[in-house]
Copies of this chain bind each other. A is one copy, B any other.
Amino acid sequence: MGIVVNLDEGRDAKPSLDALTALVADDIKAVNSLIVQRMDSPVEMIPQLAGHIVAAGGKRLRPMLTLAAARMCDYTGTRHLALAACVEFIHTATLLHDDVVDESDLRRGLASANALWGNKASVLVGDFLFSRSFELMVEDGSLHVLGILSNASAVIAEGEVMQLITTNDTETGETAYLDVIKAKTAKLFAAACRIGAVVAERPRVEEEALDTYGMNLGIAFQIIDDVLDYSAKQATLGKSIGDDFKEGKISLPVILAFHRGGSEERLFWRRTLEDLEQGEGDLEHAIHLMEKHLALEDSVKRARHYGAMAHDALGIFAESPQKAAFNELIEFCIERAY
């Protein structure tokens, strides 16, 4: 079941982002300057608000995918920098619109842009970043890249709408859940990776391999994210626990617990997640039911399955520090559950 990870530096070390971060360190610096430079506008509220969310933007995981993929494909130019910034702009725009949508008060432990500036500003600055991203792509001049990212953007929006529909619907099955996370999360991972092969002008089979890697990595990443929302580990990441529960989001741990539970348990899930009638002790009871049915543990197993597919997709590439870092990234995404 485990994934064989090809790490030069010690198999026992806890997987981390360190190798990947080190490999793209210079590139990501350049991307960060580009981001600051290109989100500028004479309308001061735009760089203020966008800067808030970009600064809070954590790991820069998605642009790092583009940067490392390009380097793994022996790309030696600079086009990947602007395109990595595009990917981050699309991600940031999605976050801003998510903040409106979920009425979430916290994102990465900081007050959400929404809470500080209001719904209106979040929607509009998201639109600005989204448009600016396309302007950057046009400057790059590749219709192929424009096609990949415009398609990804449409799919992301579809995924978010699907999520809207499945929220509060305990009848949601694992397939519908997968459709949602593929669209709203994994598609951008896939596109970010694929672009690396595109700028390096590698054959389509390598483009598709990187797409498959990104897609499966993204699925694993989102499953673990959803597990973390019911896990003590979450607190250490500065995110509150139980956000998904409060909103009635039907994530994989819920789906497994619901399907494995008896009729009385299903009444509990319907009351708390469909009717959103939640009281003292309900979150704890939900976690208890998940543990009873191994729902969290088995969600991680599902994530491992997608991680294994991501790993195998990279098989056609020669060994390289980037490939090793990509494989460690799979492990990192999954191991953060523990």
Contacts and interface: CB of A to CB of B under 8 A. Distances in A.
Interface stretch (A143-151, A194-202, A229-237): A143-151
A124 B163 CA distance: 11
A100 B125 contact: no
Interface stretch (A53-61, A133-141, A212-220): A133-141
A118 to B, nearest CB: 8
A210 B101 CA distance: 39
Interface string A17-47: 0000000000000000000000001110110
Contacts of A41: 158, 161
A75 interface: no
- Copies of this protein chain in the complex: 2
Given A132-B154, A146-B138, A150-B134, A127 B97 contact: yes
A194 B8 CA distance: 57
A309 interface: no
A124 B157 contact: yes
Nearest to A160: B124
A158 B101 contact: no
Question: Of A119, A125, A150, which is in contact with the most chain B CB atoms at under 10 Å from its CB?
Answer: A150
B161 A124 contact: yes
Contacts of A82: none
Interface residues of A, number: 39
Interface in A147-196: 147, 150-151, 153-154, 156-158, 160-162, 164-165
A131 interface: yes
A333 to B, nearest CB: 26
A131 B97 CA distance: 14
A123 interface: yes
Interface string A246-274: 00000000000000000000000000000
A120 to B, nearest CB: 4
A143 B147 contact: no
A223 interface: no
Contacts of A130: 127, 130, 153, 157
Given A131-B153, A147-B138, A154-B135, A164 B120 contact: yes
Residue from A127, A138, A146, A153 having most chain B Cβ neighbours under 10 A:
A127
A128 B158 contact: yes
A43 B162 contact: yes
Contacts of A143: 138, 141, 143
A121 interface: yes
Contacts of A123: 97, 100-101, 123
B45 A165 contact: yes
Given A101-B123, A131-B150, 16 more contacts: A45-B161, A100-B100, A119-B119, A121-B161, A124-B157, A124-B160, A127-B153, A127-B160, A128-B154, A128-B157, A131-B156, A131-B157, A134-B146, A134-B150, A143-B143, A146-B146
